[in-house]
Amino acid sequence: MLPDATPAEVVSGLTGAGYKCGAEPPYAICTADTVSIWVLTGSHNRPPVVSLHATGPIEKATADLSAKLPRALELAHINPRTPIVDWFGKLGGKPTDQLTAGDWQADWSAEVVDTDEPGAHLTLVDKLCKVNCQAE
């Protein structure tokens, strides 16, 4: 079990792991290869939202996210990690799904090629957050 990490500490960890980070307020956006990780910034004890995105055909985008997911969850200090990684590995081509693991809600969506942004999206939301928990 990892201790909570502030949004700034998460971004610092992602940078240290080789991600290139920039800001698009209220998010810090960190990218490595084809995967970007969006971290909702603020003065929270831990980030209220951590969202992973990969563009392209669903199969490739899902595989790209799968490769980055365990380390991304570790860097973001999201507990528990194993149920989220296991669930993600069993999605089996579903276009949407949802999981609650500990204090986190995981939302999955896959966009088909003929949409505006084809790819895969996994958003983790801290269910304990009560103030400034979502971007406007």
Contact 30, 20 (CB under 8 A): yes
pLDDT band at 135 (very low <50, low <70, confident <90, very high): low
Q: What is the number of alpha carbons within 13 Å of residue 13 lying toward its C-beta? A: 18
Per mean pLDDT, which range of 44-48, 62-66, 93-97 is the poorest? 93-97
Q: What is the mean pLDDT of residues 67-95?
A: 95
DSSP 46: S
Q: What is the mean pLDDT of residues 59-73?
A: 95
Contact 36, 69 (CB under 8 A): no
Q: How does pLDDT run across 94-130, given as a tens digit for each residue?
A: 889 999 999 999 999 988 756 667 789 999 999 999 8
Spatial separation of the C-alpha atoms in residues 96 and 29, rounded to whole Å: 23
DSSP letter string, 117-134: S-EEEEEEEETT--SS-S
Domain boundaries along the sequence of the chain: 7-126
For residue 40, give the nearest of 7, 10, 73 by alpha carbon: 7
Residues 6+ apart with CB under 8 A from 107: 96, 97, 98, 122, 123, 124, 125
